[in-house]
Structure 1
Amino acid sequence: MLDVIGDVLALAIGVAISPIPIIAAILMLLSKNAGASSIGFGIGWVVGIVAVTGVVMLLSGSIHTENAESSTAVSTTKIVVGALLVLLAGRQWQTRSDTSVPKWMQAIDQLTMPRAAALGVALAAVNPKNLLLCVSAGITIGTGGLGGGQEVVVLLVFTAIAAISVLVPVLGYLVAADRMSGALATLKNWLLANNHAVMATLLLVMGAVVIGKGLRGL
């Protein structure tokens, strides 16, 4: 089990340091409806990560056997996912000079808790960058040869690490809102300015890691 946790650790960190969800959480914490919207977003973010990773884990585990054909299929899938991550890295790098605020971020100040939760799910389960990282983690866990209980443990560890960058600011703000406002605003501005460059580097590294794992299985 520890080997599988080690394999998904980098992927979890990749999800955790994805700038867009962090920026969204910070914007909610600086909005007039900070408490409700940020809590909803945090819940949706966790649900989205668990849903995608868990479903892929179950599907990949159900088709994984010890024969060479299935092993080749799993390895090929990892290579394809890794290649998609590398392609996304290239797109992010090409747009690294774009520091404009997406339109959906401009409406964050008006979000209710349910809508914020839906946004959290979407950024985890629909956003291509995070989706591919969660899919890769699900494949790794599902094909790791673990028992059902061990798979759940690894899934929970992955989710805890992947969600920490959103949950920590939310929980910290609820405890010490006044002291965190200035730091959150500074972090938001830095992430907006460097979002594409950070994501390009992250996706390139994650893509190379996933491709390497796929090649080792061929």
Structure 2
Amino acid sequence: MGQVLGDVLGLAAGVAVSPLPVIAIIIVLATPRGRVNGLVFATGWVVGLSALGAVMLVIGGKGGAGAHGQPADWVGALKLALGVALLLLALRLWRHRPADVTQAQLPQWMATIDRFTPVKTFLLALVLSAGNLKNAPLTIAAAASISSSGLPVGEQIGALAIFVLVASLGLLIPLGVFLVMGERAKNTLGNWKEWAARHNTAVMAVLFFVFGLKLLGDGIDVLNS
């Protein structure tokens, strides 16, 4: 399992560094029912990543392992396609980044988060995890690596669980700070929110580029092996 974890933990870190979801949970924590809504948001995030990863494991199955324990060609082709897609998104984001970070604006839907019911909060977390343009490709790539490893089902599930845990740290840390510090955490979380809002586009562009290159390289390596 060690080799598989070495392959997917970097992808998990890429999912964990997600400015918009971090901003979203900070806004959720600032609502009157911040403690409950924060836990609901974190649960939705974990469920979204777990469900997407589980679907990929089922699709891949043990058939994902090719000859001599090497990943099957479809895994390489998938990573290659995901890598190209992330590189194109990186180029688009970089070209459209704000010249002045102080003028960066958040999506309009974020202004309504404080009025969300727990159900809407849960659904928002699902979308930001499994439907995110960065997180979905990275999760799919990680699950493809796990499914192609030839590991027993139990170990594959364990590897996916570790991936989801690491990928959720970006949200669990603000939630933990809030649960421990309560009202005292508002200034700290507010500063995190401001930084993430200003640098969201640039951070996402760099992450798209870095992980796009990684998936591109992984795909080429699998297809040439």
TM-score by length of 1: 0.94
Q: Provide, for residues 2-52 of structure 1, a one-character-per-residue CA deviation record: whole Å limited to 9, x for no partner.
A: 000010011100000111111101111122331222111110000001011
CA contact (8 A) 2:87 2:212 kept: yes
Mapping of 1:160-175 within 5 angstroms? 160-175=165-180
Cα deviation, 1:101-134, whole Å, max 9, x if unaligned, reads 2111000111121111111111111122211111
Work out which of the residue numbers 124, 127, 130 in structure 1 matches 2:129.
124
* Higher alpha-carbon deviation: 2-11 or 161-170: 161-170
Question: Does 1:75 find its partner at 2:76?
Answer: yes
Q: Deviations over 1:118-176 (max 9, x none)?
A: 11111111122211111111111111111111101100110000011101211321221
Q: What does 1:59-208 align with in structure 2 at a 5 Å threshold? A: 59-66=59-66, 71-97=72-98, 99-208=104-213
**Shift in Å, 1:65:** 4.5
Q: Which amino acid aligns with 1:216?
A: D
CA-based RMSD of the aligned residues comes to 1.6
| Corresponding pairs, count | 217
AA aligned to 2:164 is T
TM superposition shift of 1:67:
5.0
Contact 2:75–2:145, Cα closer than 8 Å, also in 1: no
Amino acid aligned to 1:28: V
Q: Distance in 1 between matches of 2:39 and 2:219?
A: 37
Residues of 2 paired with 1:101 and 1:174: CA distance? 25
**Which amino acid in structure 1 is aligned with residue 89 of structure 2?**
L
CA–CA distance in structure 1, aligned partners of residues 158 and 189 of structure 2:
32
The answer to whether structure 1 residue 39 and structure 2 residue 44 are counterparts is no
| Structure 2 gap ranges (5+) | none
Secondary structure at the counterpart of residue 217 of structure 1: helix
- Matches of 1:78 and 1:159, distance apart in 2: 19
1:64 and 1:143 in contact (8 A); partners too: yes
Give 1:59's aligned amino acid: I
For residues 32 and 124 of structure 2, what CA distance do their matches in structure 1 show? 17
Deviates more, 1:85-94 or 1:135-144: 85-94
| Secondary structure of the structure 2 residue equivalent to 1:128 | coil
Identity %: 35
2:64–2:149 Cα contact (<8 Å) kept: no
TM-score for the superposition, normalised by structure 2? 0.91
